[in-house]
């Protein structure tokens, strides 16, 4: 099984950025733990701060890999283009957030992407990524 994690804008600064919200671990360390946890799964990781690059990645992997775990960061709340890309591809996509966006500012309560995704996981810190992978392993 092949899973692609895609992190959007500012998530390259995990471990540095607003630690009280996002924690103090950087994503690369967490990824190593994830890979140890899911020994039978190939987990690929991509991060970009650029909307079009996220779309290109969705197109590139979205017809071949088995699942996509997408934290589109702030583009979650704004991007019709990423929503269209998720709808256009074949691979199921799970929307993920580290923070509980519903406890935060109102503009974070709405997702442009959720309706195109298989499901949404938010608020479990870095564990949100593990839960998203678990959800992709569930039998329909
Ligand atoms: C986030 C929540 C978004 O509202 C925010 O813009 C982010 C991170 C999260 O993982 O909690 O950049 O997606």
Bridge-partner residues for 3, per DSSP?
A: 43, 67
Bridge-partner residues for 121, per DSSP?
A: 96
Look at residue 3 in the predicted model and tell me its pLDDT.
Answer: 98
Q: Residues of 30-61 as b/e, b for ≥16 C-beta within 10 angstroms? A: bbeebeeebeebebebbbbeebeebbebbeeb
Pick from 124, 98, 107: nearest CA to 26: 98
Residue 127 has pLDDT above 80, yes or no: yes
Annotation marks residue 102 as catalytic = no
Mutate to test the pocket of ligand 1, among 101, 102, 110 (most ligand atoms within 8 A of CB): 101
Look at residue 126 in the predicted model and tell me its pLDDT.
Answer: 96
| pLDDT tens, residue by residue, 27-54 | 999 999 999 999 999 999 999 999 999 9
Look at residue 139 in the predicted model and tell me its pLDDT.
Answer: 85
Report the C-alpha gap between 88 and 12 in whole angstroms.
Answer: 26
Look at residue 140 in the predicted model and tell me its pLDDT.
Answer: 76
Annotation marks residue 75 as catalytic = no
Number of domains into which the chain is organized:
1
Atom 6 of ligand 1: nearest residue by CA position: 74
Name the DSSP class of 125. T
Q: What tokens does 31 get?
A: 């990824």
| pLDDT tens, residue by residue, 69-111 | 999 999 999 999 999 999 999 999 999 999 999 999 999 999 9
Look at residue 63 in the predicted model and tell me its pLDDT.
Answer: 98
Bridge-partner residues for 45, per DSSP?
A: 5
Choice among 30, 75, 97, 129 that is catalytic: 97
Look at residue 68 in the predicted model and tell me its pLDDT.
Answer: 98
Look at residue 8 in the predicted model and tell me its pLDDT.
Answer: 98
Domain that holds residue 119: 2-137
CATH of the domain at 110: 3.40.50.9100
């Amino acid at each position: 099984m092949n899973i692609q994690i895609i992190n959007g804008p500012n998530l390259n600064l995990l471990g540095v950025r607003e630690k009280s919200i996002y924690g103090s671990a950087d994503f690369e360390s967490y990824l190593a733990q994830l890979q140890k946890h899911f020994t039978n799964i190939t987990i690929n990781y991509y991060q970009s701060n650029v909307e079009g690059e996220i779309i290109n990645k969705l197109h590139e992997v979205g017809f071949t890999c088995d699942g996509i775990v997408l934290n589109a960061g702030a583009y979650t709340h704004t991007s019709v283009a990423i929503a269209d890309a998720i709808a256009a591809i074949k691979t199921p996509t799970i929307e993920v957030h580290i923070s509980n966006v519903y406890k935060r500012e109102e503009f974070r309560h709405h997702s442009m992407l959720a309706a195109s995704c298989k499901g949404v996981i938010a608020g479990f810190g870095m564990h949100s990524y593990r839960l998203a992978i678990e959800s992709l392993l569930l039998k329909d």
